[in-house]
């Protein structure tokens, strides 16, 4: 099949699930092209992007300044004439596309799609509106839209019917979890178009880590991998580590935070004010293979988020054999099985985070049991090879 994948940013270090799906489709013999609104802003690039030369398959959607558009539109139409400029001419239908037709913006975006696709797959509902227009232009036969996290939060906070056109045009609407499915129904997605298809990971990249030795009295290494932004709740994680230090000063603890973002300065100041400079280490954004190494060097994983959908990093941590501590947001409880692979506490509850960290330190003999159960759960539920086979089946069913 010929598949167009529309994303907001590519490559994105925090959206490895997109790369995993694209490389999985390529490995199964399908012709995949990526269309993005902007280039990735991080210097860190997933190794699969380079290995599979995905940038050569990527086009960036751009619309010139308003005064340049009439002249470039004439060139685009002239270039398209020998190949049948149907979609470009249809993009000028003011009665159907309104301002985007008048401003020539839709014509310029549509010109990037110089082929017919069997499926357009939009990652994030916010890109689904473009997918709906491209389907109406005849650029694709079928439209699939996957909703993740911030797009759902935007739908809940926005005006009623924000995604009505997306739902109407889509042939399948993918929810990545049970929580997302329930939210999409609330937002008006037709139940007959909805399917639950989680994001996943390449379990084999993380499963080589030996499980921890119970009863070790060495330094306890706690790690978080996340964007440094408010919704990740890292201030609560840092305060929980401070409370742990105060309650158990005899236990050496190292808390490593992997990631970058707009909250870094505030978080560093919080660490300084709590006197944790020798305990908390900011590692910055790291390539995917280095993240796997950091996980392999750690004992416990903590994700103190205030908002999530289905965080991939929890899958990676459990595939690495780490007992995990997370918060009850989104569909976290579909990854972390409370009391079986780790623990789940209320979001924003610093005291609960500190209490569960203390519990894990007091019960080191359970780390191997929790880690082994986490590995099994991720392998059975979130293995990307299995999920990519299902994705191909979903496309073919259309």
Q: Is residue 286 part of a domain?
A: yes
- Both 265 and 167 in one domain: the answer is no
- Both 191 and 43 in one domain: the answer is yes
- Both 221 and 292 in one domain: the answer is yes
- The pLDDT tens digits for 85-97 are 789 999 999 999 9
Span 201-228, mean pLDDT? 77
Please check whether residue 73 is in contact with residue 124, taking contact to mean a CB–CB distance below 8 angstroms.
Answer: no
Q: Is residue 229 part of a domain?
A: yes
Per-residue confidence (pLDDT) for residue 213, from 0 to 100: 43
Judge whether residue 46 has pLDDT over 50. yes
**C-alpha dist (Å) from residue 169 to 120, 174, 274:** 11, 13, 52
How far apart CA 116 and CA 124 sit, in angstroms, is 22
∠ CA 169-174-178, rounded to 5°: 135
- Both 177 and 189 in one domain: the answer is yes
Chain centroid, CA 35 distance in Å: 17
Q: How confident is the model at residue 82 (pLDDT cuts 50, 70, 90)?
A: low
Find where tokens 């790690």 sit: 223
Per-residue confidence (pLDDT) for residue 210, from 0 to 100: 58
Residues 6+ apart with CB under 8 A from 328: 344, 345, 346, 347
Q: What is the CATH number of the domain that holds 296?
A: 3.40.50.2000
- Both 248 and 393 in one domain: the answer is no
Percent over 70 (pLDDT), the chain: 96
- The pLDDT tens digits for 287-344 are 888 999 999 999 999 999 999 989 999 999 999 999 999 999 999 999 999 999 999 9
| Minimum mean pLDDT range among 77-86, 277-286, 363-372 | 77-86
Per-residue confidence (pLDDT) for residue 209, from 0 to 100: 56
Q: How confident is the model at residue 47 (pLDDT cuts 50, 70, 90)?
A: confident
Higher model confidence: residue 44 or residue 128? Answer: 128
- Both 144 and 270 in one domain: the answer is no
Judge whether residue 125 has pLDDT over 50. yes
Please check whether residue 198 is in contact with residue 310, taking contact to mean a CB–CB distance below 8 angstroms.
Answer: yes
Please check whether residue 290 is in contact with residue 44, taking contact to mean a CB–CB distance below 8 angstroms.
Answer: no
Phi-psi category of residue 29: left, alpha or beta, with phi > 0 → left and psi -120 to 50 → alpha: left
Q: Which residues pair with 142 in a beta bridge?
A: 119
Q: Check the CA dihedral 224-225-228-231 and report its sign.
A: negative
| Minimum mean pLDDT range among 131-135, 168-172, 263-267, 285-289 | 285-289
Would you mind telling me the total number of residues written for the chain in this entry?
Answer: 398
- Both 366 and 389 in one domain: the answer is no
- Both 34 and 172 in one domain: the answer is yes
Per-residue confidence (pLDDT) for residue 83, from 0 to 100: 64
Span 224-233, mean pLDDT? 96
Q: Is residue 261 part of a domain?
A: yes
Span 18-38, mean pLDDT? 97
Please check whether residue 158 is in contact with residue 129, taking contact to mean a CB–CB distance below 8 angstroms.
Answer: no
Q: How confident is the model at residue 41 (pLDDT cuts 50, 70, 90)?
A: confident
The 3-class SS string of 71-131 reads HHHHHHHHHHHHHCCHHHHHCCCHHHHCHHHHCCHHHHHHCCCCCCEEEEEEECHHHHHHH
Please check whether residue 371 is in contact with residue 321, taking contact to mean a CB–CB distance below 8 angstroms.
Answer: yes
How far apart CA 224 and CA 256 sit, in angstroms, is 6
Q: List, in sequence order, the alpha helices (H) in the chain.
A: 16-27, 47-51, 69-80, 86-90, 94-97, 99-102, 105-110, 128-136, 150-157, 164-169, 178-186, 234-247, 264-273, 288-296, 312-319, 350-362, 367-381, 384-397
Q: Is residue 32 part of a domain?
A: yes
- Both 160 and 267 in one domain: the answer is no
∠ CA 102-107-113, rounded to 5°: 160
Per-residue confidence (pLDDT) for residue 14, from 0 to 100: 80
Radius of gyration of the chain (CA): 23
The CA-to-CA distance between both ends of the chain, in Å, stands at 12
Q: Is residue 107 part of a domain?
A: no
Per-residue confidence (pLDDT) for residue 181, from 0 to 100: 97
Find where tokens 């379990």 sit: 203
- Both 257 and 183 in one domain: the answer is no
**C-alpha dist (Å) from residue 256 to 2, 19, 225, 277, 375:** 42, 26, 8, 11, 22
Per-residue confidence (pLDDT) for residue 49, from 0 to 100: 92
- Both 188 and 168 in one domain: the answer is yes
Span 70-79, mean pLDDT? 92
Q: Is residue 95 part of a domain?
A: no
Domain that holds residue 35: 2-61+112-200+383-397
Q: Is residue 238 part of a domain?
A: yes
- Both 292 and 329 in one domain: the answer is yes
Q: Is residue 101 part of a domain?
A: no
How far apart CA 255 and CA 237 sit, in angstroms, is 9
- What is the overall mean pLDDT for the chain? 93
Q: Which residues pair with 172 in a beta bridge?
A: 144
Per-residue confidence (pLDDT) for residue 187, from 0 to 100: 97
Judge whether residue 179 has pLDDT over 90. yes
Residue from 110, 131, 113 nearest 173 by CA: 131
Q: Could you give the number of structural domains in the chain?
A: 2
Give the predicted TM-score (pTM) of the model.
Answer: 0.90
């Amino acid at each position: 099949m010929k598949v167009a994948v529309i994303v907001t940013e590519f490559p994105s270090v925090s959206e490895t699930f997109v790369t995993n799906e694209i490389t999985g489709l390529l490995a199964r013999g399908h012709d995949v092209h990526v269309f993005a609104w902007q280039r990735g802003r991080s210097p860190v690039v997933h190794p699969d992007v380079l290995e599979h030369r995905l940038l050569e398959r990527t086009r960036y959607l751009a619309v010139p300044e308003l005064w340049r558009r009439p002249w470039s539109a004439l060139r685009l139409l002239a270039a398209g004439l020998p190949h049948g400029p149907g979609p470009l001419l249809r993009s000028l239908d003011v009665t159907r596309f309104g301002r985007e037709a008048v401003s020539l913006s839709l014509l310029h975006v549509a010109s990037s799609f110089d082929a017919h696709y069997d499926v357009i797959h939009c990652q994030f509902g916010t890109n689904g509106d473009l997918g709906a227009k491209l389907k109406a232009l005849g650029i694709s036969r079928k439209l699939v839209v996957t909703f993740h996290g911030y797009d759902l939060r935007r739908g809940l906070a926005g005006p009623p019917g924000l995604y009505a056109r997306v739902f109407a045009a889509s042939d399948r609407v993918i929810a990545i979890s049970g929580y997302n499915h329930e939210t999409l129904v609330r937002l008006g997605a037709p139940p007959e178009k909805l399917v639950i298809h989680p994001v996943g990971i390449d379990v084999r990249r993380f499963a080589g880590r030996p499980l921890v030795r119970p009863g070790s009295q060495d330094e306890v290494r706690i790690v978080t991998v996340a964007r440094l932004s408010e919704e990740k709740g890292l201030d609560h994680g840092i305060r929980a580590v401070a409370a742990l230090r105060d309650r158990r000063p005899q236990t050496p603890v190292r808390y490593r935070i992997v990631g970058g973002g707009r909250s870094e300065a505030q978080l560093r100041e919080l660490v300084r004010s709590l006197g944790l400079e020798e305990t908390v280490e900011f590692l910055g954004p790291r390539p995917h293979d280095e993240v796997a190494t950091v996980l392999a060097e750690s004992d416990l994983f903590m994700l103190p988020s205030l908002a999530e959908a289905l965080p991939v990093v929890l899958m990676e941590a459990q595939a690495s054999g780490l007992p995990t501590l997370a918060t009850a947001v989104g569909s976290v409880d579909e990854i972390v099985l409370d009391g079986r692979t780790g623990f789940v506490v209320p979001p924003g509850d610093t005291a609960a985070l500190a209490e569960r960290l203390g519990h894990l330190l007091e019960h080191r003999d359970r780390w191997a049991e929790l880690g082994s159960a986490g590995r099994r759960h991720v392998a059975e539920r979130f293995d990307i090879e299995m999920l990519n086979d299902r994705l191909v089946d979903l496309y073919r069913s259309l």
